Structure 1
């Protein structure tokens, strides 16, 4: 009886969650974001495989095959000396080959914000302004507006290690993950201004004798000029304060965290905000990296040198969350074990290979987890539970203080063994993956229920969005 009551309670809870999350997931704005990130996920998957090959197979210093913390094949080839191996011609050729695979990231992951801008303007126009038959024009203007607000003067480091200020040079940092939030803002403003003006016929109307392609180009001039004018105003306002929109966004997110220190409070802020930022499409490490450099990275160095025994470190974060299956294998296996949705299972099958090496982009952008209200709860909870369980196990002395600097691409379980130097570290990562699967399981089923409901509506000929609309047979 108790089991039946428990099962009934779980079913009721699942029905309630399905009902309300279904409404949230059906929100036009969130659907637009979802379509945008799914569109951008394909090149990111390609980049994920390239990173996996470069970091795991080719890296002569830290890779799993040739590296000193992997199978040590490099040392074996060089007769037992790691220094001789790294100086060998073979190792140098591997580094060159890594550079070739790095080009994939330059054209995909490092331009992620550009893809997001074009996609968000396109899908936003299709979903909110269906009368516009040329959404690609809106994407072009959105890209123009995005580039207008980017910083063109910035301080960087030269190849010789010197600091230099570059004038009239685009800061490439904001073309990737750091520019996503700015890109969404500019694309959203662009598609709204452009389409509102067009719907109110504030356009240049051409005679019917003019070819359609030419007519559409002229019709876009006034709405496009208004959108560009808007971006110039935004850039000028921030310029008056000697900054830019993307720099202000990053600074505004970083400053509140600077008041924290290397304490449980600091750790909780990071474990709470890093996945939250990631869920919104902002790379959490871009915000926390400089802060960790002044706090947790110093703790790492003291641990490695034997001067202290800090638990809160960057390496501990990698051990407990990043390399433990929390971000990759957990959600992937949950979908493969419990999921029925063909699209998600297909993504999971593709994502499992890079996922083994902790490359999370195919998972977070492919399912997607980012901006997906269904997976928000397990995504946030998995960070919390796994980090703090690892903390208390370390505090109790069951897991040694993390003192080994292990590449984040080393697979779960093996990385746990290498990070801690103990079988308990490997056992913890097995536990972390299992807990993550358990957290995702009910939400994978909720996603299936929503998909089944959607399929029933499609079969009935109901309108479920511009890309899914069908007619009753």
Structure 2
């Protein structure tokens, strides 16, 4: 227990500080808002691939024209994902400054910060782009913005623009001399607009000048620079087998100390994983080879069976071998939430958190599951993820939906769950033995 306590004393302050860091929380909350849109896009991509564009179905009822419906849905959701994230980062970050008293709420509107963030995002985009014509030839076009920069591929530019723009906007908004004072009878919405007029103009100028200088001298666009310096290396790490296992272990390690590990790491992992699943969804919609293995649905389907630490397996193990009525009672209460991947009742009720017996399997089992699933997916035994099911989708069903009905992948999920139960059983028996020994001594 002394080792656990020492680790807790050193780890908790650092993890708590990261969890409450304003830029990370703003990014994390911005991604959460986009989840319903991503789910909607997944539904229509599955419908398109399995029904609208299915040759067997179209033999009986021609639904091929409805394929355009899936395209429209994709353009309206995944196609503008970076814009939505950028706007929400501006709103969330500026709201944090208001809520924490860093800037007066009087005459300040967070909506202005969101709009300014989007403006900066587009300011950083190239003014000309290479496009492919319908005849297959390429040409330089101006006056358009590529969807590759407004979708998940542009998330890093969106995050950079949202944070930079909002920080500068908040800084300039603190100076009263930069505010245009209006009579008291002016509506608040109008007053806040005039108050932000000069700060917003200054932010645009301060950013536009170096952007112009950098792109002119280097002949590279800001998205190209960010992609080379940040996006590509981070994506390579997050989506690699080593990176996946490392981040999953850190996530579950934080969990067993009472911290929501996946939430803390989401600002790092979400953007690459979203880009990964969007690429898979696009390939699936066009009946092409699925390019990526690691993404959010992959982690959720195999590494979060019943929530963080694979708590569903622990609950089943308790039902099978535990002789302690207290454990069984807690397991009964936690069963239904765990079915929907909510781990907190068993994690804190048993508890698993700070429990030297259950901490070990809870921190290691999800990573083991992901290693097995990655190997089997890589050699082609189970299918890859092509859609995003809601994270509360029950174990097995989530895999079935995310792989568009791949039976081997679904079976693998239940086999992993059975393996996890077998691993948890000795630890449940050990906890029973420790409890009995302690009661005997008492």
TM-score (norm: length of structure 1): 0.56
Alignment: residue pair count = 345
Following TM superposition, by how much is the alpha carbon of 1:222 offset from its aligned partner in structure 2, in angstroms? 1.1
Change (3 A) 1:128 1:255: closer
In 2, distance between residues paired with 1:382 and 1:204? 56
Match of 2:214 in 1: 238
Shift of 1:162: 3.2
2:203 paired residue number? 227
**Residue 380 (structure 2) aligns with:** 402
Deviation of the 1:24 alpha carbon:
2.9
Q: What SS does the aligned partner of 1:165 have?
A: strand
Partner of 1:369: none
Aligned to 2:91: 122
Supply the distance in 1 between the matched residues of 2:128 and 2:60 (Cα, whole angstroms): 39
1:158 aligned residue = 133
Structure 2 partner of 1:201? 176
Are 2:90 and 2:110, in contact at CA under 8 Å, matched by a contact in 1? yes
Contact 1:150 1:245 in 2 (8 A): yes
Distance 1:407 1:283, change over 3 A: closer
Deviation at 1:225, TM superposition (A): 0.6
**1:36 paired residue number:** 30
Q: 2:104 aligns with which of 131, 149, 152?
A: 131
For the 8 Å contact 2:299–2:370, the answer to whether it is kept is no
1:283 paired residue number: 272
- Find the counterpart in structure 2 of residue 88 from structure 1: 59
Cα gap change, 1:379 to 1:219, in 2 (>3 Å): farther
SS class of match (2:271): coil
2: CA distance, partners of 1:15 / 1:386: 29
Question: By how many angstroms is 1:391 displaced?
Answer: 6.7
Cα distance, 1:106–1:332 mapped onto 2, change above 3 Å: farther
Residue 465 of structure 1 is matched in structure 2 by: none
Aligned: 1:215 with 2:191 = yes
Question: Are 1:389 and 2:372 counterparts?
Answer: yes
1:27-426 superposed matches below 5 A: 27-56=21-50, 58-61=51-54, 85=56, 88=59, 90=61, 92-93=62-63, 95-129=64-98, 130-132=103-105, 133-208=108-183, 211-212=186-187, 213-240=189-216, 241-253=218-230, 268=242, 279-284=268-273, 286=275, 317=293, 322=298, 325-326=301-302, 331=307, 334=310, 385-386=368-369, 388-389=371-372, 401-402=379-380, 408-409=386-387, 412=399
Instruction: Tell me, in whole angstroms, the C-alpha distance in 2 between the residues paired with 1:177 and 1:29.
Output: 19
User: 1:335 and 1:99, CA in 2 relative to 1: closer, same or farther beyond 3 A?
Assistant: farther
Q: Which residue of structure 1 aligns with residue 257 of structure 2?
A: none
After superposition, the Cα gap between the structure-2 partners of 1:35 and 1:102, relative to the gap in structure 1 and judged at 3 Å, is: same
- Aligned mate of 1:430, from 392, 414, 431: 414
More displaced stretch, 44-53 vs 194-203: 44-53
What is the DSSP-based 3-state SS (H/G/I as helix, E as strand, rest coil) of the residue aligned with 1:326?
helix
TM-score (structure 2 length as normaliser): 0.59
Deviations 1:256-278 (A, max 9, x none): 69999xxxxx8646877999898
